[in-house]
Amino acid sequence: MNSKKILIVADSLRVSGQLRYLESLNNCLDAKNNSVMLYIRKNKDNRLDDIDKNVNIVINRREKAVFLPPYYYILSVIYTLMKLFGLTKYSSSVNSKRMSILRCVMTRREFNSSLKNHHFDVAVCFAQGHSSDIFTFVNADVKYAFWYRCAANKRNNQKWLCGDVDKIITPSNNMRSILCWLYPDFEKKIIVIENYIDNIKLETLAKAEEIDNSNRLTLCTLGRLTSSKGIDLAVKSAGILSDNGYDFIWYFIGDDRDIEEINELIRICNVEDRIHISGPVINPYPFIKASNVYVQPSREEAFAVSIQEAMALKVPVVAARTVGAIENISNGITGLIAEPDENSIAMSIMRILSDNDLKDRVKENLNHIEYGTARELFIKKWTDLIWKVN
Residue type, 339: E
For residue 351, which amino acid is it? R
Distances in whole angstroms, Cα of residue 358 to Cα of each of 315, 354, 367: 13, 9, 14
What pLDDT was estimated at residue 150?
57
DSSP conformation class of 185: G
CATH fold of 5-64+101-196+374-387, please? Answer: Rossmann fold (3.40.50)
Cβ neighbours around 234 below 10 Å, total: 29
Q: What is the CATH number of domain 199-369?
A: 3.40.50.2000
pLDDT mean over 163-175 = 86
CATH 3.40.50.2000 domain extents, the chain: 5-64+101-196+374-387, 199-369
Residue 167: pLDDT over 70:
yes
Cα dihedral: 31, 34, 39, 43 (round 10): 10
Summary mean pLDDT of the chain: 85
pLDDT category, 16, cuts 50, 70, 90? low
The answer, yes or no, to whether residue 152 has pLDDT greater than 50, is no
Q: Note the pTM of the prediction, 2 decimals.
A: 0.81
What percent of the chain stands above pLDDT 70? 90
Please give the pLDDT value at position 116. 86
Q: Specify the pLDDT at position 321.
A: 94
Per-residue DSSP letter, 188: G
pLDDT at 115: 86
Of residues 227 and 112, the one with the higher pLDDT is 227
